[in-house]
Amino acid sequence: MSPFVRLVRRDLKRAFAQGGAWLPLVFYLLVATLFPFAIGPDAALLAKVGSGALWTAALLAALLPVERLVRPDIVSGVMDQLAVRGQSDEAVAAAKLMAHWLSFGPPLMTATLPAAALLNLDGATSARLEIGLMLGTPGLAALGLAVAALTASLRRAGALIGLVMLPLAVPLLIFGASQGEGALKLLGATSLLFVAAAPFVAGAALRAGRS
């Protein structure tokens, strides 16, 4: 098995073993439950704002795992040991991105089925939302990883993570929640850009953090 696959497996195992991977999921479903309470039982209105509400919930849920993505591995010396073994920081970051998305994207897409029902979304809107999340969650995961690496040297970065990450995620939110034509293509393009850049940003941050 290649080192990349081993790293992905380790991170994935850790995400679910520590329960951290379930947290964003529960949070996402909770927000989907709160929305009808706040807006009221107006089915037509809920169906209209539902897609945007779920995208906002997904964005906020993406913040939750960020703090445990990189910093624990730096503190425990895992990153140093990987570097000593000649694993490039970019490859480690790419493996972390893969593992993070696997523990975040597909579960969120699954949770969207009950969430869409709670908000009375029709089949077409739900399908569009699912496709949007499939295209957008890799971008969200990439943003999360880059921000995690950039803030890894800070002890209590929780609030800062939100402040750094949410503005950057605005394009994903706009194209994801938009019903306009071509929005999904732009969403995919934005997501691709984040996924392509994140390993390099995170890798540079990891390297800088060592000196």
DSSP percent split of the chain into helix, strand, coil, nearest 5? 85, 0, 15
Please pick, from the candidates 37, 40, 44, 84, the single residue that binds another protein as defined by CB under 8 A: 84
Contact status: 18 vs another protein (CB under 8 A)? yes
Least distance to another protein, CB of residue 115, Å = 30
Residue 6 or residue 185: which is nearer to another protein going by CB?
6
Contact status: 78 vs another protein (CB under 8 A)? yes
Cα–Cα nearest to 205, from 167, 154, 148, 140: 148
Please pick, from the candidates 26, 42, 81, 193, the single residue that binds another protein as defined by CB under 8 A: 81
DSSP 67: G
Least distance to another protein, CB of residue 125, Å = 40
Tell me the C-alpha to C-alpha distance, in Å, between residue 117 and each of 16, 50, 125: 26, 10, 11
Tell me the C-alpha to C-alpha distance, in Å, between residue 150 and each of 49, 80, 106, 155, 157: 34, 16, 25, 12, 10
Please pick, from the candidates 26, 34, 76, 117, the single residue that binds another protein as defined by CB under 8 A: 76
**Which residues contribute to the site for another protein (CB under 8 A)?**
1, 3, 6, 10, 14, 17-18, 75-78, 80-81, 83-85, 210-211
